[in-house]
Structure 1
Amino acid sequence: MSLDKTAQKPHDRLAAVLTVEMEQVNALIRARMASEHAPRIPEVTAHLVEAGGKRIRPMLTLAAARMCGYSGDNHVKLAATVEFIHTATLLHDDVVDESARRRGRPTANLLWDNKSSVLVGDYLLARSFLLMVETGSLRVLEILSNASAVIAEGEVLQMTASRDLRTNEAIYLQVIRGKTAALFAAACEVGGVVAGASQDRIDALRDYGDALGISFQIVDDLLDYGGDALATGKDVGDDFRERKLTLPVIKAVARADEAERAFWSRVIERGDQREGDLEHALALIARHGTMEATRQEALIWAERAKAALAALPEGDIRDMLTDLADFVVARVR
């Protein structure tokens, strides 16, 4: 298949190459999110699933399987599984974070209620496990089950650490490796497993997904303080208002003087936020250069992702995965 070299974004080029499989994934998602007895389930799920997400995680599963020479159809089931797990976590996250917007649209918990979001998320997780079982692979079941547990663990750790100024970069890395990178890594890894790839290639796929996921989340946290709300689907400063200690702030706290630390303690730890506080936080972040320092961290992880690909077969798919790692960081300048 010839590639559209004019397409600027690597995930768009990847989607073009995987068009047939992604259509199968989307059809499977629509079929499996149906419910005969509870029509609210497809209503809530469709609101999020059809909101225009990039589907990067399921594409990683399909790309990994294709790169390793797979010719069956279980990778389609696994890609749908990955998207169901991701969607379930988004529904739960928006309840926990009391978010009002997701992908530029009102969140499901705002349109319906918290109970619906939590229960529909649970339903999608159950559906994901049914799809895993259909592949007949205990190893796949182990990988994705473990990823689901690690994601929940990362979210719980974030709850306890995100409003504590003692949270350092090591704890932050542990949080994002759990809540974001775990599913990226698992999505890549199961693609290799279902294809019967060698352990070296499976390990390389997992390492690529892990590093890509970490870079992706660091950039997402960076965009919260300097992104375009129309492009990100979030309002600038959402993490600040939700009192989340992300890397730009963690670095600013580490470099803060006594007065600055008192400010961060008031707005993050005590939640006493006043008019003009976001602007002051942005000024402190700019003063200490933590936006660029955070971007450099994302670049390091993107380079690690690209290095992991060296163990995988050369070709168009590998080139696009390399470009994807670069694009993740290029979202912020």
Structure 2
Amino acid sequence: MTATLHRIGTDRQPSLDSIINLVAAEMNHVNAVILERMQSQIPLIPELAGHLIAGGGKRMRPMLTLATARLLDYSGARHHKLAAAVEFIHTATLLHDDVVDGSDLRRGRRTANIIWGNPASVLVGDFLFSRSFELMVEDGSLKVLKILSNASAVIAEGEVNQLTAQRQVNTGEDKYLDIIGAKTAALFAAACRISAVVAERDEATEEALDSYGRNLGIAFQLVDDAIDYASDAETMGKGVGDDFRDGKVTLPVILAHARGSAEDRAFWQAAMEGRRISDEDLSYAKTLLAQTRAIDDTLMRARHYGQRAIDALGPFASSAAKSALIEAVEFAIARAY
């Protein structure tokens, strides 16, 4: 998979349009489930949940559930509720993440914790987690329940692991990949794998879709890590350099710290500890990232995992669904260019 703005053999930039169009009709059913199940007699719950759910997110994870089901020619409707459960898990983790990170912007809008406070955000996140498990139980498959409940536990473990690594500039690349494999990629993998279960396919099919989602999730997060230093607030939907100011030790920092001089490493140590986080410091950090090719190599790794995701689709016959899933990977990578 080469670094390019355009799809191979075309003159257009990769986008999510193909997967959006593929599952548009089914997403209407999923959105209806989401709207119905986030209701409560406590007005603050749908108000706060609705703020985030209506905030312009791509709905990528539930779309993956629908698109992989289409890849398998599944013609039932079980995956509608399960895709909603996936989105509720994701939304709950965002609410909790923003509290942990002290974030004030999400997708270009003020975060729920800034508007309603931390306690309300945490509790509504808990409510959405509970709703997701209700939807899993209603589906009736213990295997689906196991996959999604395990993903929820792994995500929480990943978040705790990231918390312990915060400001720890000596964090190794392997540990960091473990963190994002848990906190980001696990839900991508589960969102895809459950389609094979509802379509009653074999273990090999489950593993292939799990591999697709997991590698896509890692690629997606690595690109996010890179564009935190190389993009703008309008593109990102959050403040530029938020990871830097929050002391988040992401892969670009890990690579730059490992490759830098003693003076450079001292700067990164001070920055991650919150002692060098001015605009001038951020500009200097970008200079060090460029000098050590840390951004370039983070994106090279993202392309590697993106190719692994595409390779995982090899056993499946050509179809509109397969093309859309491949382009979703290309889109994830192209966001950085």
TM range (shorter): over 0.9
Q: d(CA) in 1 for partners of 2:147 and 2:245?
A: 35
Q: Indicate which of 241, 244, 247 corresponds to 1:240.
A: 244
> Residue deviations 1:20-55, cap 9 Å, x none?
11000001100000002x110000111000111111
Distance 2:133 2:143 in 1: 13
Check whether the contact 1:204–1:312 (CA below 8 A) recurs between aligned residues: no
Q: Which amino acid aligns with 1:144?
A: L
TM-aligned CA distance change 1:132 to 1:271, over 3 Å: farther
Q: Counterparts of 1:185-224 in structure 2 under 5 Å?
A: 185-224=189-228
User: Which residue matches 2:119?
Assistant: 115
Task: Confirm or deny: 8 A CA contact 1:95 1:109 kept in the other structure.
Answer: yes
More off after superposition, 283-292 vs 144-153 = 283-292
Q: Which among 45, 59, 77 is matched to residue 81 of structure 2?
A: 77
Contact (CA 8 Å) 1:10, 1:320: kept in 2 or not? Answer: no
Higher relative contact order (CA 8 A, sep 6+): 2
1:20 aligns with 2:61: no
Q: 2:295 aligns with which of 288, 291, 295?
A: 291
Partner of 1:29: 34
| Structure 2 residue aligned with 1:263 | 267
8 Å contact kept, 1:74–1:135: yes
Instruction: Describe the SS at the equivalent of 2:260.
Output: coil
Deviations 1:256-289 (A, max 9, x none): 1111111111111354534521111111111111
AA matched with 1:105: R
The alpha-carbon distance between structure 1 residues 44 and 235, as it changes in their structure 2 partners (threshold 3 A), is same
Alignment of 1:1-333 (within 5 A): 9-36=14-41, 38-269=42-273, 271-274=275-278, 276-333=280-337
AA at the equivalent of 2:231: G
Percent sequence identity is 52
Kindly indicate whether the alpha-carbon contact (under 8 Å) linking 1:212 and 1:325 is maintained by their aligned counterparts in 2.
yes
Assess if the C-alpha contact under 8 Å between 2:247 and 2:271 holds in 1: yes
Tell which deviates more after alignment, 79-88 or 223-232: 223-232
Distance, in Å, in 1 between the alignment partners of 2:299 and 2:11 is 27
Alignment gaps of 5+ in structure 1: none
Corresponding letter in the other structure for 1:259: E
CA drift of 1:9 comes to 4.6
CA contact 1:14–1:320 (8 Å) conserved in 2: yes
Q: Distance in 1 between matches of 2:211 and 2:164?
A: 27
Change (3 A) 1:7 1:23: farther
Q: How many residues are matched?
A: 328
- Matched AA of 2:162: Q
Q: Contact 2:181/2:217 (CA < 8 Å) preserved in 1?
A: yes
Moved more, 263-272 or 205-214: 263-272
- Alpha-carbon distance in structure 2 between the residues aligned to 1:225 and 1:7: 25
Moved more, 120-129 or 287-296: 287-296
CA distance in 2, matches of 1:287, 1:119: 44
TM-score using structure 1 length: 0.96
* TM-score normalised according to structure 2 size: 0.95
Gaps of 5+ in 2: 1-9
Task: Confirm or deny: 8 A CA contact 2:68 2:192 kept in the other structure.
Answer: yes
The amino acid of 1:134's aligned partner reads E
Distance in structure 2 (CA, Å) of the matches to 1:211 and 1:177: 9
Checking the alignment, whether the CA contact within 8 Å between 1:163 and 1:269 is kept in structure 2 is yes
CA deviation after TM superposition for structure 1 residue 171, in Å: 0.6
Distance 1:230 1:270, change over 3 A: closer
Q: Distance in 1 between matches of 2:198 and 2:170?
A: 42
